[in-house]
Structure 1
Amino acid sequence: MDESSPLFAIAVAAELAGMHPQTLRQYDRLGLVSPNRTSGKSRRYSMRDVVQLREIARLSSEGVSLEGIARILQLENQVNALESRVRELESTLADELLNRPGRRVFAAGVEGEIISLKHGTRTQRRTELVVWRPLGKGD
């Protein structure tokens, strides 16, 4: 179960929200909180619905009209949907960057510089021989 599972009958949800059941019916008619329905058409409220009812009560006590509350809830729901979509797109992008062919690999050059390589290629190893001789007294 999660926070959106329809668990509570209207009487229980009203008690949890600190409201009268008739108020919940009115909010349902106005579209402020739309609970799920059973096959017998009874309302079933989720914990998310109860939290939303409490938020409506708080905004109402601060003097916000029901129209204003409806707009606030609509915008909050839109923000939540957009945040969810952003997370989905970020995940898809991360998967794509990891799995697509031709992704870039980086290596360090001789001087310490960064060299970008295509996937599946290797750096060229230097094979020349360097002879080191210490400086002597006569050199």
Structure 2
Amino acid sequence: MHAQTLRQYDRLGLVVPRRRPGGGRRYSLRDVVTLLEIQRLSQEEGINLAGIARILDLSKRVDWLEREVERLRPRADVGSRIFTSGPTAGKGVIVERGQRGRRDEGRSMVVWRGRSQ
């Protein structure tokens, strides 16, 4: 890649390398992978730099959201349980969503929590 191209990408914020003490750019492996993707999108797909910037931004957002989903998944699994009264008064049992607890002489109770946002 031409040095002028790298400087332009730096100015646009597409790839911001670390700087050496003398001011030279120092590209990480992640930066190089991003540069290759920018080159591919530009040359093979014909996408302009504004479009590439948007794609890179959305890609970072998707990565963050996927990590957030994985972090929150255990909470969702716990929240998908439904509590109902058990065979003995005052004792609760857990049933999975979509299943029914056994009725206990008309004293069945189901606690439902809506999804929080």
Per the TM superposition, whether the score is higher than 0.5 is: yes
Partner of 1:33 in structure 2? 15
Asked whether 1:116 is paired with 2:93, we answer yes
Return the letter of the residue paired with 1:36: R
Aligned length: 84
Larger radius of gyration: 1
Shift of residue 48 of structure 1?
1.2
Give the unaligned 5+ runs of structure 1: 1-18, 98-103, 110-114, 118-139
Which of 56, 61, 85 pairs up with 1:73?
A: 56
Supply the RMSD in Å over aligned alpha carbons: 3.0
Identity value in percent: 58
Partner of 2:73 in structure 1? 90
SS at the partner of 1:28? helix
SS at the partner of 1:33? coil
The more displaced of 40-49 and 78-87 is 40-49
Matches of 1:82 and 1:40 in 2, distance apart? 38
Asked whether 1:43 is paired with 2:25, we answer yes
Shift of residue 88 of structure 1?
2.2
Q: Which has the higher contact order (CA 8 A, sep 6+)?
A: 1
Partner of 2:6 in structure 1? 24
